[in-house]
Amino acid sequence: TGNDSRDTAAKTHGGSIVLNARIMSAPGARENQGSKESTTRYRLAFSLIELLVAAAIVTVVVSAVFAVYRTVSASMDSFNADRLVFDRAAAAVEMTCRDLSCMVKVPLAGSVYVTIEPGPDSGPAGSVICFHTATRALTQDGTDKVQVERVRYRARAEEGNPEAGLVLTRETQLLKPDGSMGDMTQEDVGRSLEDFSITVFDGEGWHETWPSESSKKQLPRAARVVLTCRHGRTVRTFESVAVIRI
């Protein structure tokens, strides 16, 4: 019986020890769990330094992309501006040749049908040519009518901005049935020009001036139009030849 009491006490004493051990160990377990949770929370977030580094990287990338976009946009704008100027210069050469191919023998003064004066040797050069053209025009009643016009091309310095180059102007006057001239109309057909020259062929050679003493009563057989245009750093020359129906 004594032994049983001691065993029971020992068990009881041991049970209290185990119980106390369990009770004492429980708060420690909670602290360890809280520490793990706080560590987990820390790993799921970013530090201030990491955010600043990320913001700096994004800023550099956006700045580089914007710089590339601005460069490409400026290049496209320059290309479109060049194309507009040069397309207009090419159209001016085509228009001049079309008028020259329709040249007719209508006197300008006396027996002179065409006059060509070369431009100055110094500075921007530009020829001045004057002649008559005959074209078909459709009247209101649907019939064809031959229309004769006096046409004059001249290259002049742009008003208020002579450094911008020459402006090619086309002037026309309608020849009325009674022989009088109508009102003059004027339009600018080319800008930013460095040179505008017309040479004519009389069957033997090319001439920068017209008429010559031996060709006052005839028309040239062909005309060559040369136009040099500059826009920015780009320079282009357009050339075409018109055959004149004699």
User: Which of helix, strand or coil describes residue 233?
Assistant: coil
The pLDDT value given to residue 121 = 52
pLDDT at 163 over 80: no
Compute CA distances 27 → 14, 23, 30, 215, 243, whole Å. 21, 8, 5, 123, 110
Between residues 171 and 43, the one the model is more confident about: 171
Neighbours of 135 (CB within 10 A): 13
- Structure confidence at residue 107 as a pLDDT band (50, 70, 90): confident
236 forms beta bridges with: 229
What gap in Å lies between CA 223 and CA 209, rounded to an integer?
A: 11
For residues 142 and 184, the answer to whether their CB atoms sit within 8 Å is no
Share of the chain above pLDDT 70, in %: 74
Residue 178 in this model has a pLDDT that exceeds 80: yes
Count CB atoms within 10 A of the CB of residue 116: 21
- Looking at residue 15, its pLDDT comes to 46
Tracing tokens 């920015």 back to the chain, one arrives at: 232
Burial call 137-149: b when 16+ CB within 10 Å, e when fewer? eeeeeeeeeeebb
Q: What is the pLDDT of residue 212?
A: 63
> What is the C-alpha separation between 211 and 130, in angstroms, rounded?
11
pLDDT of residue 215: 62
Whether the ω angle into residue 162 lies within 30 degrees of 0, i.e. cis, is: no
Q: How confident is the model at residue 207 (pLDDT cuts 50, 70, 90)?
A: confident
Could you tell me which of 231, 233, 224 has the C-alpha nearest to residue 93? 224
pLDDT score recorded for residue 105 = 86
User: For 208-223, what is each residue's pLDDT tens digit?
Assistant: 888 766 566 678 889 9
Q: How far apart are CA 160 and CA 138, in angstroms?
A: 40
Residue 7 has pLDDT above 60, yes or no: no
pLDDT value of residue 31: 52
30: pLDDT confidence band, cut at 50, 70 and 90?
low
Question: What pTM, to 2 d.p., does this model score?
Answer: 0.65
> Average pLDDT in the 120-127 region?
61
Task: Kindly provide the b/e burial profile for residues 178-200, where b requires at least 16 CB atoms within 10 angstroms of the residue's own CB.
Answer: eeeeeeeeeeebbbbbbbbbbbb
pLDDT at 171: 93
